[in-house]
């Protein structure tokens, strides 16, 4: 038994929608204030996903009042109440650090939005091109 | 105090119910056996000798094979003596598992730290060094090592460059976060000396009776019951 297998034992089960870099998601995060607990949403573009087993992390970037805000969440944190997929986005990079230099519409234009009804056709096309290549 | 021989598996993180994550070290404990029991009458003190990880008999000389024969065991690679107050609970050849420890206990872990070779004073003794720029041409060297004619020599034990690491190190009063009995794994809060697969000795803490250790234990007592773990 190695440490990766052991990690699986301590990995909480999470049922989030599958999201990728470039998608816009809303993370509902639990916040404790004294004894009270409330849920705060954070909506933005996923700019990075780091897959390290139990240490899986993702970073969400949003712009509010012209200021960019980034927040990194541990994927398996019990403090994440839920994640909602808002928009599918198509990007050509695994890490979207270049968005930090861009603002507003110029940044938005770098990500091609895929509407939910186009999603299936898009996936199909992707798989076809993949099989053609191989 | 009663202890076991184990192998450091590596470090990971464990989430608690309230969302905090704590760093733990996983230690794998193969079955341990009581090889010898020392008594006050014969040896002047009470202790048990514990062994682990079987090896071929041909690896040992005859006197050692005879030593294992006394307790009807196959030769074991690692041996370690642990002092105990009461030896009546132990019999020769008895198997000891991770259930010696319970979640919430305080343990000491003894291991051999990673060897760092010949290192300078900054790494070995945390010396500050000298500025890197602004015309300095003297950066990481020791500096002055003493005075002039009085005393006219360098003091003994002056901290200088030399071999660093590869020492036996005991980390005291670490919390046992979880014990997986069927897998033979102990999770300990914090770090443990040595590299992965290094041999470590886990022992019931020698300083657990101290007030400071007891305060620590009660402060951390919420951890073992709040771990997020799938049912085994």
Rounded to two decimals, the pTM is 0.86
Contacts of A13 in chain B (CB under 8 A): 230
Whether the predicted pLDDT of B171 surpasses 70: yes
C-alpha B81: how far from its chain's center? Answer: 14
Is residue B17 within 8 A of residue B220, CB to CB? The reply is no
Contacts of A78 in chain B (CB under 8 A): 15-19, 228
Cα–Cα distance measured from residue A9 to residue A116, given in angstroms and rounded to the nearest whole number = 35
Whether the predicted pLDDT of B169 surpasses 90: yes
What residue in B sits closest to A76 (Cα-Cα)?
B15
What is the model's pLDDT at position A89? 87
Specify the 3-state DSSP secondary structure of B115: coil
**pLDDT band, very low/low/confident/very high, at A82 (cuts 50, 70, 90):** very high
Nearest beta carbon to residue B19 from set A9, A10, A79? A79
Cα–Cα distance measured from residue A68 to residue A86, given in angstroms and rounded to the nearest whole number = 19
* Per-residue pLDDT tens over the stretch B145-162: 999 999 999 999 999 999
Closest Cα to residue B4, out of B201, B186, B194? B201
Contacts of A7 in chain B (CB under 8 A): 12
What residue in B sits closest to A54 (Cα-Cα)?
B13
Q: What is the DSSP letter of A12?
A: P
Name which of A19-33, A92-106, B46-60, B160-174 the model is least confident about. A92-106
Whether the predicted pLDDT of A105 surpasses 80: no
Is residue A59 within 8 A of residue A69, CB to CB? The reply is no
The angle subtended at Cα B164 by Cα B158 and Cα B166, nearest 5°, is 135
What residue in A sits closest to B178 (Cα-Cα)?
A10
Percent of chain A with pLDDT over 70: 100
* Per-residue pLDDT tens over the stretch B38-85: 999 999 999 999 999 999 999 999 999 999 999 899 999 999 999 998
Percent of chain A with pLDDT over 90: 49
Is A78's CB within 8 Å of B18's CB?
yes
φ, ψ for residue B172 (rounded to 5)? -100, 150
Cα–Cα distance measured from residue B135 to residue B122, given in angstroms and rounded to the nearest whole number = 20
Mind telling me how many Å the CA of B17 is from chain A's nearest CA? Answer: 7
Nearest beta carbon to residue A55 from set B13, B26, B180? B13
| H/E run at residue B103 | none
**pLDDT band, very low/low/confident/very high, at A81 (cuts 50, 70, 90):** very high
Cα–Cα distance measured from residue A128 to residue B230, given in angstroms and rounded to the nearest whole number = 39
What is the model's pLDDT at position B217? 93
Is residue A64 within 8 A of residue A31, CB to CB? The reply is no
Percent of chain B with pLDDT over 70: 100
Closest Cα to residue B75, out of B27, B28, B30, B33? B33
Is A10's CB within 8 Å of B18's CB?
no
C-alpha A94: how far from its chain's center? Answer: 12
What is the model's pLDDT at position B232? 62
What is the model's pLDDT at position B89? 87
Is B15's CB within 8 Å of A30's CB?
no
* Per-residue pLDDT tens over the stretch B110-123: 999 999 999 999 99
Query: Mean pLDDT across the stretch B173-189?
Result: 94
Mind telling me how many Å the CA of A68 is from chain B's nearest CA? Answer: 26
What residue in A sits closest to B230 (Cα-Cα)?
A9
Hey, which residues does A107 pair with through a beta bridge? none
Q: What is the mean pLDDT of chain B?
A: 93
Whether the predicted pLDDT of A134 surpasses 80: no
Contacts of B231 in chain A (CB under 8 A): none
Q: Domain B3-116+170-226 sits in which CATH superfamily?
A: Translation factors (2.40.30.10)
Is residue A25 within 8 A of residue A85, CB to CB? The reply is yes
Cα–Cα distance measured from residue B108 to residue B169, given in angstroms and rounded to the nearest whole number = 10
Closest Cα to residue B104, out of B155, B173, B50? B173
The dihedral sign for the CA sequence B209, B210, B215, B216? negative
Specify the 3-state DSSP secondary structure of B11: strand
The domain segmentation of chain B, as residue ranges, is: 3-116+170-226, 117-165
What is the model's pLDDT at position B152? 92
Q: What is the mean pLDDT of chain A?
A: 89
What is the model's pLDDT at position A130? 82
């Amino acid at each position: 038994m190695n440490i990766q297998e052991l990690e699986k034992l301590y990995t909480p089960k999470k049922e989030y929608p599958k999201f990728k870099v470039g998608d816009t998601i809303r993370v509902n995060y639990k916040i404790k204030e004294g004894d009270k607990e409330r849920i705060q949403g954070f909506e933005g573009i996923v700019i990075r996903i780091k897959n390290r087993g139990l240490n899986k992390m993702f970073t969400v970037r949003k712009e509010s009042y012209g200021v960019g805000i980034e927040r990194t969440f541990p994927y398996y944190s019990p403090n994440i109440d839920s994640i909602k997929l808002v928009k599918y986005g198509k990007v050509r990079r695994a890490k979207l650090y270049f968005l930090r230099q861009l603002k507003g519409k110029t940044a938005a234009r770098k990500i091609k939005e895929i509407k939910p009804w186009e999603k299936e056709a898009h996936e199909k096309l992707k798989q076809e091109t993949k099989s053609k290549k191989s | 105090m009663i202890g076991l021989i184990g192998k450091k598996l590596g470090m990971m993180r464990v989430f608690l119910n309230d969302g905090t994550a704590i760093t733990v070290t996983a230690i794998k404990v193969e079955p341990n056996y009581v090889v010898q029991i020392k008594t006050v009458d014969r040896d002047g003190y009470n202790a048990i000798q514990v062994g682990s990880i079987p090896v071929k008999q041909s690896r040992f000389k005859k006197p050692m094979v005879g030593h294992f024969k006394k307790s009807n065991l196959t030769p074991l690679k690692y041996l370690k003596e642990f002092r105990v107050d009461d030896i009546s609970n132990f019999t020769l050849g008895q198997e000891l598992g991770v259930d010696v420890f319970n979640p919430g206990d305080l343990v000491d872990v003894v291991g051999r730290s990673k060897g760092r070779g010949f290192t300078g004073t900054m790494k070995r003794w945390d010396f500050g060094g000298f500025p890197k720029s602004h015309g300095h041409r003297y950066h990481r060297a020791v500096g002055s090592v003493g005075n002039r004619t009085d005393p006219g020599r360098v003091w003994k034990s002056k901290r200088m460059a030399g071999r660093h690491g590869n020492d036996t190190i005991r980390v005291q009063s670490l919390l046992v976060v979880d014990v997986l009995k069927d897998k033979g794994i102990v999770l300990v809060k914090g770090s443990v000396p040595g590299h992965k697969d290094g041999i470590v000795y886990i022992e019931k803490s020698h300083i657990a009776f101290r007030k400071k250790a007891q305060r620590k234990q009660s402060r951390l007592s919420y951890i073992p019951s709040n771990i997020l773990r799938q049912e085994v």
